[in-house]
Amino acid sequence: MEDRALRISRNRYGVRSWSRSLSRFARNQPLGFASAVFLIFLFVVAIFGPLLYPFDPLSAEGGRLESPGTRFLFGTDSNGRDVLSRTMAGSRLSLYVGFLSVGFGTIIGSTVGIVSAYYGGHIDTAIQRVVDAMLAFPGLIFVLVLMVVLGPGQNSVVIAIGIFMIPGTSRVARGAALSVMAEQYIEAIRALGGSAPRMIFRHVLPNVTAPIIIMASIGLGNAIVAEAGLSFLGLGVPPPTPSWGRALSTEGRGVLEFAPWVSLAPGIALSLSVLAFNLVGDSIRDVLDPRLRGSRNN
């Protein structure tokens, strides 16, 4: 009985603690909180989409280019498909590409940056010259070349965007790791014979996690824009898979003058998603950066 009472007391304390933290975050970061609520809604639509779509996003459910009305809230496209259903389905592709590409680029880029900072010397010089060479290419051309090499498909988009994110993430991780490596306790651990894996995973990595998380959260919006741009250029996921970028190009550009609703809904969804990820990233930065937190309290 005492153990059960103790568990109940801990659970209640944990719920109250989370509730206070959530209310404090909503009070201090209203835009970030509103953006997080919108992103949660977006995740629900992406995960449970087939249960929420008003119509099948891949089949013609109405007439060609029907204007918005009671049956089709955002109208239909040139193939008679429901624009609302295709916009909701496009969120799944955007989040899939965004999270996988950012995860891929963040893991590899952070590893390269931390290893470069830890070993220094010729290893650091060689790695940074490769990073400089990758950064020298314009971003769009770099991704286009990768897509031509990899071919169309959502996994190719993930790999191309992920590789494009590696240099920037590597620079951020390296800068944060260099500041940690300059600390005196790191020199003490080295003097005591600490091994490289132990130093990196137990002392360096935990202290550079915050800037990496911030970089990844902001990079999600950039990845979604990159996927939309590739689909806009016809190099993304091939049709008939719903895509916000394709809805703005091949599906909506030709009928923009007399059927703007074909591009309006996916365009708004794309803009709000990118804005929400950027605002959440800024809020995370404000929460995790003690200098910003101190200046806000003053």
pLDDT at residue number 9 = 45
pLDDT (0 to 100) of residue 232? 77
- Residue 16 has what pLDDT? 63
Q: Is 217 helix (H, G, I), strand (E, B) or coil?
A: helix
Residue found by looking up tokens 């009671």 in the block: 70
**Residue 135 CA to chain centroid, in angstroms?**
20
Q: Looking at residue 289, what is its pLDDT?
A: 61
Q: Tell me: pLDDT of 226 over 90.
A: no
Using 50, 70 and 90 to split pLDDT, how confident is the model at 159? very high
pLDDT at 102: 92
User: What value does the mean pLDDT take over residues 203-231?
Assistant: 84
228/161 Cα distance (integer angstroms):
11
pLDDT at 181: 82
Q: What is the pLDDT of residue 281?
A: 82
pLDDT at 5 over 50: no
d(CA 236, CA 244): 11
In a domain, 154, yes or no: yes
* Mean pLDDT for the stretch of residues 215-226: 85
| Bond from prior residue into 238 cis (ω within 30 degrees of 0) | no
Closest CA to 106 of 16, 23, 209, 246: 209
Inside any domain, residue 248: yes
User: Could you tell me if residue 156 is inside a domain?
Assistant: yes
pLDDT for 294 equals 45
CB atoms near residue 64 (< 10 Å): 13
- 3-class SS of residue 82: strand
> Which among 15-19, 114-118, 230-234 has the top mean pLDDT?
114-118
Consecutive H or E run containing 56: none
| Contact status, residue 134 vs residue 166, Cβ threshold 8 Å | yes
Domain that holds residue 130: 95-293
Which of the four pLDDT bands, split at 50, 70 and 90, describes residue 214? confident
285 or 99, higher pLDDT: 99
What pLDDT is attached to residue 19?
74
Burial class (CB in 10 A: 0-12, 13-18, 19+), 80: middle
Scan for tokens 């989040």, then name that residue. 95
Q: Give the H/E segment covering residue 3.
A: helix 2-28
Band (pLDDT 50/70/90 cuts) for residue 6 is: very low
The answer as to whether 267 is a domain residue is yes
Q: Examine residue 238 and state whether it is found in any structural domain, yes or no.
A: yes
Asked whether the beta carbons of 88 and 57 are under 8 A apart, the reply is yes
Q: How confident is the model at residue 107 (pLDDT cuts 50, 70, 90)?
A: very high
180 within a domain of the structure (yes/no): yes
User: Worst-scoring range by mean pLDDT, 15-24, 59-68, 122-131, 143-152?
Assistant: 15-24
For 112-133, write each residue's pLDDT tens digit: 999 999 888 899 999 999 999 8
Measuring CA to CA, how many Å separate 3 from each of 6, 10, 13? 5, 11, 15
Q: What is the CATH number of the domain that holds 228?
A: 1.10.3720.10
What pLDDT sits at residue 40? 92
- What's the total number of domains in the chain? 1
Tokens 């390296």 correspond to: 174
Across the range 182-208, mean pLDDT stands at: 77
Q: Which two tokens stand for residue 183?
A: 């600390």
Structure tokens at 61: 């459910």
Q: What is the mean pLDDT of the chain?
A: 82
**Within a domain: 298:** no
Question: pLDDT band at residue 251, thresholds of 50, 70 and 90?
Answer: low
d(CA 122, CA 143): 29
76 versus 233: which is more confidently predicted?
A: 76
Record the pTM.
0.80
pLDDT tens column, 267-295: 899 899 989 988 888 888 777 765 444 44
